[in-house]
Every structure is written in structure tokens, then in C-alpha cells.
Amino acid sequence: MPTPYKRMSLQSRLPRQVSTLYTKVKTTFLREMVLVARELSPPPPMPTLSLEVSIRALGRTEFPRSRDGLRRSLSQKSFVERVERGDVCFALSIEGAVVHTAWVAVRRGPIEYLRRDLALEEDEIFVFDSYTNPEYRSLHLATARAAFVADHYAARGFRRSLGVVAVENKAGLAVPESVGYRRIGSYGAFCIGRLCRTWSEPLPGQQIPALIRMR
Ligand SMILES: CC(C)(COP(=O)(O)OP(=O)(O)OC[C@H]1O[C@@H](n2cnc3c(N)ncnc32)[C@H](O)[C@@H]1OP(=O)(O)O)[C@@H](O)C(=O)NCCC(=O)NCCS
């Protein structure tokens, strides 16, 4: 019978900074993502928010002036390129300032972390790069945007919404799971420089999109 100490992973026994470094080194080469999915009908209920918000899709010239509600790594050039290829950036604003964004793609779902796209069915959407300004987290803003997006695409005949989250991103998984997404499989990549060898693993009985070369 192993002792509880022996059952702990190597990572959980390391001091915090060493553990963070361990994760960084590991994920440079080995990248693993959980695939989650949810039927769009019925859409998740809109939460009651304590602040007044507006949610809408941004046009190609509407790169937010304050970038606090947008992933830091996303440049204006990448923003425009994404909009031009058909991806939609949904922005949630409070008093005119964008505090949360998330992207939606159809037909091809980009997974930059794995350097691949997902080959989606005609009636599927792929939600990615969800981000809330740190000062506005845990106010159910991501939940409100998720409800808005589900309603928007369900009304246009889309059936299922998909998303991926890196296995080490516990908060990233908490939001989709709280609005009814379920794990249906996983993807992985072993990368050296820009070369990645990838794999897919559906959970039993699940159909998951194939990984294809990025656009
Ligand atoms: C993930 C993220 C978008 C959540 O945004 P948010 O607006 O704070 O999310 P919400 O307030 O709508 O939270 C929804 C649920 O997830 C839970 N949750 C949010 N952050 C969490 C955290 N760090 N740990 C555990 N649960 C968390 C909330 O408690 C809430 O659950 P509840 O409905 O049971 O109360 C935000 O933390 C973020 O921008 N993180 C960095 C980027 C990222 O990891 N994106 C996701 C992968 S693309």
C-alpha cells in the first residue's frame, strides 16, 4: 500500500515558483488540451449581473482602445486578420469600456497553441480566447457573454458549441463547465520549435473534430 506522499505527483511536491517553471518547460514541448462541448439549445440562462453591460460583435476597425478586456498577446494586426477571415469578436462593455471578449469561429476552429485548426461541422461553432479584465473577474461576465453567444448562434440554426482549454488552466475550465459544457475528448501536441506532432483522443462514444493544418 503506497503512502499518500508517494501517491502525490512530482509537481505537487515542488515549491510554487519551481512548479510554475516546471509547467512552463513541460508545456513548451508537451501541450495538452481538453475539448468541451454543449448543445446550443436551450442556451444557458443569462445571469443576473450587478452592473449594466452591453454585448456586441466588433467590426474590423473596432480594435478596443483600452486593451484591458482583450488577451494581451493579440495585436491589432491579428485582430484585423481574424475579423477578415470571418472570426467574430464578441465584446462585453461597461460604460463604454470593453472588459471581456471572446472569439467565435465557424467551419475552422483555430487552436494556435497546437498550431492546428479544428475541422468543424456546418452547424458547429468554436469559442476561443475568452478573456476578462482581471479587475472584473468573477462577476459572471464570461457567463453572460456565453449565454449571449449561445442564443445568437442557436437562433441562426447552429447546433453545438465547442471549446478547448489547456489542461493546466483550471479557471479556464470552470467557466464552460458552469454553463453546461461537458468534456468530450482531448488533443495534444509534442512540439520542437515550430514543428508539432499532434494527436486526438475522443472520450468513449463521442465524435470529435479532426485537427487539420492551420490556415
Ligand atoms: C476564465 C475567465 C475568462 C473567466 O472570466 P470571468 O468573467 O471571471 O468568469 P465568470 O465570472 O463568468 O465565472 C463563471 C464561473 O466560473 C468560476 N470561475 C471563474 N474564475 C475561476 C477561477 N479562477 N477558479 C475557479 N472558478 C472560477 C466562477 O466562480 C463562476 O462559477 P459560478 O457560476 O458557479 O459562480 C477569466 O478568468 C480569464 O480571463 N482568464 C484568463 C484567460 C483564460 O484562461 N481564458 C480561458 C481559456 S481561453
pLDDT in tens, 50-81: 999 999 999 999 999 888 999 989 999 999 99
Residue 9 within any structural domain of the chain: no
CATH number of the structural domain spanning residue 102: 3.40.630.30
Q: What is the mean predicted confidence (pLDDT) over 178-182?
A: 96
Residue 80 within any structural domain of the chain: yes
Q: Which residue CA neighbors atom 3 of ligand 1 most closely?
A: 131
What's the structural domain count of the chain? 1
Nearest to 35 by CA among 212, 205, 203, 180: 203
Residue 4 within any structural domain of the chain: no
Domain of 110 in residue numbering reads as 25-213
Q: Cα–Cα distances in Å, from 92 out to 47, 96, 181?
A: 14, 9, 21
Residue 76 within any structural domain of the chain: yes
**Residue of 90, 130, 138 to test ligand 1 pocket, by largest number of atoms within 8 Å of CB:** 138
Q: What is the reported pTM? A: 0.90
Residue 196 within any structural domain of the chain: yes
**Which tens digits make up the pLDDT trace of 97-138?**
999 999 999 999 999 999 999 999 999 999 999 999 999 999
Residue type, 182: R
How much distance in Å is there from the Cα of 46 to the middle of ligand 1? Answer: 15
Residue 204 within any structural domain of the chain: yes
